[in-house]
Amino acid sequence: MGLDFGSHTIGIAISDELGMTAQGLKTIKRKSMEDDFTELKSIIFKFEIKEIVVGLPKNMDGTLGKGAEAVLRWIEALKERVDLPVVTWDERLSTVEATKILLEADLSRRKRKTVIDKVAAVLILQGYLDHRGKRNDESFLST
């Protein structure tokens, strides 16, 4: 499962059973931390999630700013509530790329606003899946 964590919403994507492609699932409007975690745990159970990838908003120079620190604190709270591996993935420019994709699809501003975080979650998860696949291909070729 891929997550694009924001101050008002959490975009959610899941992968296919083979872990090759990411699909947007939904966007949660954040209410309280407990409500958010309850909804995430429900999705984890329903889709039999095995790993969580959370976008980490690094600065363009690779350093961690206030946004990244907030995400890392939230991840620690998540880890206390779920017994799954949680990894971070550099999400620099994921929202920019998501906006570009949605503009190319000619979606209205209002429609873009409702799906942008879900699309960003797809990009985060797909980047992670692609990286993991390349790593597995390289280890296969070297054995």
Distance CA 2, CA 52 (A): 6
Per-domain residue ranges of the chain: 2-141
Is the pLDDT assigned to residue 126 strictly greater than 60? yes
Identify the weakest region by mean pLDDT among 15-29, 88-102, 110-124: 88-102
pLDDT band at 106, cuts 50/70/90?
low
- Is CATH 3.40.50.970 correct for 2-141? no
Using alpha carbons, select from 35, 25, 28, 14 the residue that is nearest to residue 77: 35
Mean pLDDT for all residues in the chain:
86
The answer to which of 4-8, 18-22, 115-119, 137-141 has the lowest mean pLDDT is 137-141
Residue found under tokens 């745990």: 41
